[in-house]
Structure 1
Amino acid sequence: MRRLIITAFVSLDGVMEGPGGEKGYRNAGWTFNQLPHDDAVYELKEREQAEAGALLLGRRSYEAFAPVWPSMAEEFARYNELPKYVVSSSLRPEDLVDGWGEITILRSLDEVARLKDGDGGPLLVQGSSDLGHSLAEAGLVDRYHLLVFPLLLGAGKQLFPTRNKDVTRLQLIEHETFSNGVQKTILDVSREGS
Structure 2
Amino acid sequence: MARELVYTGFITLDGSVDSPGGTAEGHPGGGWVFDTDFVPEAYALKGEELEETTALLFGRRSYEAFSNVWPASADHAEYKDLPKFVASSTLDDAALVEEWGPTTILRSTQDIADLKQTDGGAIFIHGSAELALRLGEAGLIDRYNLLMFPYLLPGGKTIFGERGADRRTLSLRESATYANGVVKLVYDVRR
TM-score (structure 2 length as normaliser): 0.95
Write the distance in 2 (CA, Å) between the matches of 1:55 and 1:3: 12
Q: Structure 2: how far apart are the matches of 1:80 and 1:156? A: 30
Q: Distance in 2 between matches of 1:163 and 1:111?
A: 27
2:161 alignment partner in structure 1: 161
- Residue aligned with 2:80, SS: helix
Report the residue type matching 1:101 in the other structure.
G
Q: Deviations over 1:10-39 (max 9, x none)?
A: 000111011122613212221111x22100
- Do the aligned residues in 2 keep the contact of 1:148 with 1:185 (CA within 8 Å)? yes
**Counterpart of 2:30?**
28
Output aligned runs, 1:162-181, within 5 Å.
Answer: 162=162, 164-181=164-181
Q: Name the residue aligned to 1:48.
A: 49
Code of the residue aligned with 1:170 in structure 2: it is L
Asked if residue 66 in structure 1 is aligned to residue 67 in structure 2, the reply is yes
* Structure-2 separation of matches of 1:170 and 1:147: 16
- CA offset at residue 163 of structure 1? 5.0
Distance 1:105 1:127 in 2: 17
In 2, Cα distance between equivalents of 1:4 and 1:166: 19
Q: CA deviation at 1:71?
A: 1.0
Which secondary structure does the structure 1 equivalent of 2:157 belong to?
coil
TM alignment of 1:92-103, pairs within 5 A: 92-103=92-103
Q: 2:91 is matched with which residue?
A: 91
Aligned-pair identity in percent equals 48
**Aligned mates of 1:148, 1:165 — CA distance in 2:** 22
5+ residue gaps, structure 2, are: none
Partners of 2:175 and 2:184 within 8 A in 1: yes
The aligned amino acid for 1:65 is F
Q: Is the 8 A contact 1:10 1:159 kept in 2?
A: no
Distance 1:165 1:9 in 2: 22
- Looking at structure 2, the residues matched to 22 and 152 of structure 1 have their Cα atoms a distance apart, in angstroms, of 15
Match of 2:135 in 1: 135
- CA RMSD, Structure 1 to Structure 2 (Å): 1.1
Listed one character per residue, the Cα deviations across residues 165-184 of structure 1 (whole Å, up to 9, x for unaligned) are 22100000000001111100
Report if aligned partners of 1:56, 1:87 keep a CA contact under 8 Å in 2. Answer: yes
User: Unpaired segments of 5 or more residues in structure 1?
Assistant: none
How much does 1:121 deviate?
A: 1.4
Deviation for aligned residue 1:159: 2.4
TM-score w.r.t. the length of structure 1 is 0.94
